Amino acid sequence: MKKKIISILALVIFMTFSALAQQVTITPPSATIEPGESVRLTASGATYYQWSPAEGLSTTEGPSTTASPAVTTTYTCTGMGPGVDNVVNGNFDQGNVGFTSAYQYNSNLWNEGTYYVDSDASLHHENFVGLGHGGSGNFMMVNGATLPGTKVWTEEITVVPNKYYAFSTWVCTLAGQANEVALLQFSINGEQIGEVFSAPAQTNEWMEFYELWYSGDATTASITILNQNTVGSGNDFGLDDISFRELVVLGEPQCTVTVNNFSASATADDSELCEGESTTLHALPSGGSGNYTYRWSPAATLDDPTAQHPVATPEVGTTTYTCHVSDGVGSADISVRVMVFPVFEQQFEESICAYEVYDFFGQQLNTSGQYQKRFETEHGCDSVYLLDLTVFPANDTLLVDASICVGQTYNFHGTLYDQDGQTAYFDTIDQHGCRKVEKLYLTVGQYQVPPVEMQYECYEQGSAPSWTWDKTGLTYTEDTYDEIVLDDPEGGCPIKYRLDLRFHEEFYHEDEVVTCDEYTWPVTGETYSETQEIVKTFHNDFGDQTCDSTYVLRLDVSDSPHPTEIFAVDTTSQSHWVIAATEFQINYYDFYLEYLEDTHEIWHWDSVRWEFENPDVEWNLYPDSTTNPVGMKCRMYVLDFVEDTIWLRATVYNPCKTEGVSRRYWVLCSFYGVDEQVDNVQVYPNPTQGMVTIEAADIEQVRVIDMLGQTVGFEIYENVDQAVFNLQNLMPAVYMLEIKTGKGTLMKRIVVSR
């Protein structure tokens, strides 16, 4: 809510506690005047005064006001005074504390936008003149900034909502002339209070600024003093005795001014009425205290007998209304007479047939409705004739559609009929006296046949269907069409009830599927790749019932392993090569599958098959048949020395991979630390730390293979005799160089070290 700022033009705030202790009084405490006279009312004992009500007062603020009420009035004066000061260091006796400033704090005040707290301004600028307010004590000395809107002094103060506060400060000019003095603006919570305030024209002359502020719903007051003068020269001023105090109510004395006159009269808006009309009565008092009361009589025909302006609805004749008016001091009885003339009204009903007309005061009528004819009496009131006319339609032919059962007869105006489809006519007069012709159409039937009762029933799969017909009490267990004839309880023809009963069995089906990787369920057409239970229910409308079909899939999905899931147990050796000897060292490898386990089954390998890829290798393999799976381990014996690569392949089988998955390993047969010699091929340096040179005739390509048989490097050449290959990105290990030339492919072992 926007804070309400009230400007007090004639407020002199005396910040003394002796003023707060005085009793608020009004002189005189009461007065009596004649109409048109005035009385001077004066209040004392407070520093701020507000008078109410405002009617008849020359002013509502200040210690004195002139009262000229038209009627006796009681005036209240609310006297208020400032309470405890909320500013922490308003007289600056504590120095530069308790407030904030956007100016620079500096004892040298030659620069604009600086301030200092001391008792003598001449000590900080040779052109400044000024002492604290009252001639001594600290005050805030300011060299005004040239940037408008800069905050000179700011303090955050906690306030109570919906209270008045008095803000004041004393301002002086330290240097300059009248057109160069500071222009100060004061604001609370960002809203300006009062007008822009000019510092005094003369130096060392103090002037007070003060305003009242209403807190509204605020709980904090951010009080800010801004300098809006942008002139650099002479824009210098001092601040002292900054105060912000809550105004507290000291007293609310009252004074009653009695106006010594009282009279009254009575009138009516209309003194002659027609029957049923209303008029407003008026009691018109004047003078007296103004606290009037009213009592009208007779009260029975008034809407409010205590109102000043009641509405009267008198009966036919002359009625005199009397009002007793009082202001608590004097009273008067006033009267007004009202005459009411009668209204004549005659209502009647008439009816004619459609081929007739009715004469209503010369108006020929042949349509049903209400009609009115109004005449005026000698007093201007109405004589009204109201006609309610009904025109009955012509009933030239009225169809009588009758039904009987076989063996019965129908009496149509004294003649009996018993044949299906018989017709007859009879001329007569209806109950309104209008002509009509009645036509008989007779229907002779054997039964009453209501619509077929369609009944649909759902029953659970595997249970027996059953339904009982309330018409017969019979229970049915299969689809049935049935008929039954029962007597009509109303005495009409027998009733033939027909039943069409249909049973529908609700469907339930379960599937258990074990699969690899994923499964597409035909029921939904969706593909699932995780083990789960899926329930799908279809709602099928069957007549006026809904029967369910439920399918349940219990799916067990096992991941199909890939060759990368097979690994060698022998991970301690840096590379897979065998030292030549009389009998080679045995190396064996274990292969596992990282298996998937669920609530149904653990998938595993069924068997492992080991083989050499080189067709001319004479080494021996001995799989271990005692392991699970069979052949999980294998031992290898070297029968002859072959300075070449032996490729060893393990193929593993399980239900998800009946074709098997494989992993290759290659084994070098060589003497450790002895360079290999390949005819017509030179590889150096070997071992190498990165760059290696290959010399051979017609080099076409070079491929680098690691111990797992994977290609980790590859280059193509155009039949060169020398190639330089970079192996710096490889880990230290033993690798094979596959060198393809125009004469064939050669293999060379190379050791990468660091």
CATH number at residue 705: 2.60.40.3080
Among 62, 84, 106, identify where a domain stops: 84
The closest of 519, 559, 722, 548 to 656, measured between CA atoms, is: 559
In this structure, the strands spanning 395-405 and 435-445 are: parallel
In the chain, how long is the greatest CA-to-CA distance?
157
Whether 231 is in a domain gets the answer yes
Q: In angstroms, rounded to a whole number, what is the distance separating the alpha carbons of residues 4 and 717?
A: 93
Check whether residue 146 and residue 205 sit in a common domain. Answer: yes
- Is there a contact between 541 and 552 (Cβ–Cβ < 8 Å)? no
pLDDT of residue 592: 42
Check whether residue 331 and residue 316 sit in a common domain. Answer: yes
Whether 1 is in a domain gets the answer no
Check whether residue 47 and residue 97 sit in a common domain. Answer: no
Check whether residue 32 and residue 75 sit in a common domain. Answer: yes
Tens digit of each residue's pLDDT (9 = 90 or more) over 346-357: 888 888 887 788
Tens digit of each residue's pLDDT (9 = 90 or more) over 150-189: 899 999 999 999 988 999 999 999 987 656 788 888 899 9
Burial of 321 (0-12, 13-18, 19+ CB in 10 A): buried
Amino acid occupying residue 88:
V
CATH number at residue 195: 2.60.120.260
Check whether residue 106 and residue 214 sit in a common domain. Answer: yes
Check whether residue 164 and residue 232 sit in a common domain. Answer: yes
- Is there a contact between 88 and 99 (Cβ–Cβ < 8 Å)? yes
pLDDT of residue 223: 93
pLDDT of residue 560: 59
SS3 564: helix
Q: With residue 5 as reference, give the H or E element that holds it.
A: strand 5-6
In this structure, the strands spanning 331-341 and 272-274 are: parallel
pLDDT of residue 571: 41
Q: In angstroms, rounded to a whole number, what is the distance separating the alpha carbons of residues 440 and 402?
A: 7
What's the structural domain count of the chain? 9
SS3 581: coil
User: What is the token pair recorded at 745?
Assistant: 């492919």
Q: With residue 251 as reference, give the H or E element that holds it.
A: strand 236-251
Burial of 429 (0-12, 13-18, 19+ CB in 10 A): exposed
For the entire predicted model, the pTM comes to 0.36
pLDDT of residue 120: 93
For 128, 568, 685, the CA distances from 712, given in Å and listed in that order, are 89, 19, 19
- Is there a contact between 27 and 67 (Cβ–Cβ < 8 Å)? no
- Is there a contact between 437 and 396 (Cβ–Cβ < 8 Å)? yes
Whether 437 is in a domain gets the answer yes
Whether 2 is in a domain gets the answer no
User: What is the token pair recorded at 583?
Assistant: 């009998």
Burial of 167 (0-12, 13-18, 19+ CB in 10 A): buried
Among 84, 99, 120, identify where a domain stops: 84
Among 63, 84, 105, identify where a domain stops: 84
- Is there a contact between 301 and 313 (Cβ–Cβ < 8 Å)? yes
Long-range contacts of 297-301 (CB under 8 A, 24+ apart): 297/321, 297/322, 297/323
**For the chain (length 754 residues), average pLDDT per consecutive 10?**
32 37 84 85 90 92 91 90 90 94 93 93 91 93 85 94 92 78 88 87 88 91 86 82 91 87 87 90 83 92 92 92 85 90 84 84 86 79 84 74 77 85 80 79 78 85 88 88 85 84 84 83 87 86 83 79 48 40 36 39 63 72 72 63 64 75 66 45 88 91 77 89 90 82 82 80
Check whether residue 168 and residue 223 sit in a common domain. Answer: yes
SS3 180: helix
Check whether residue 150 and residue 217 sit in a common domain. Answer: yes
The closest of 114, 109, 115 to 96, measured between CA atoms, is: 115
For 612, 618, 619, 647, 733, the CA distances from 615, given in Å and listed in that order, are 7, 9, 11, 10, 27
Check whether residue 696 and residue 719 sit in a common domain. Answer: yes
Whether 251 is in a domain gets the answer no
Whether 3 is in a domain gets the answer no
Whether 253 is in a domain gets the answer no
Whether 675 is in a domain gets the answer no
CATH number at residue 607: 2.60.40
Check whether residue 202 and residue 97 sit in a common domain. Answer: yes
Host domain of residue 207: 85-246
Check whether residue 192 and residue 89 sit in a common domain. Answer: yes
The closest of 243, 244, 226 to 142, measured between CA atoms, is: 226
pLDDT of residue 149: 80
Residues in contact with 467: Cβ distance below 8 Å, sequence separation at least 6, in sequence order? 455, 457, 475, 476, 501, 503
- Is there a contact between 752 and 731 (Cβ–Cβ < 8 Å)? yes
Check whether residue 597 and residue 664 sit in a common domain. Answer: yes
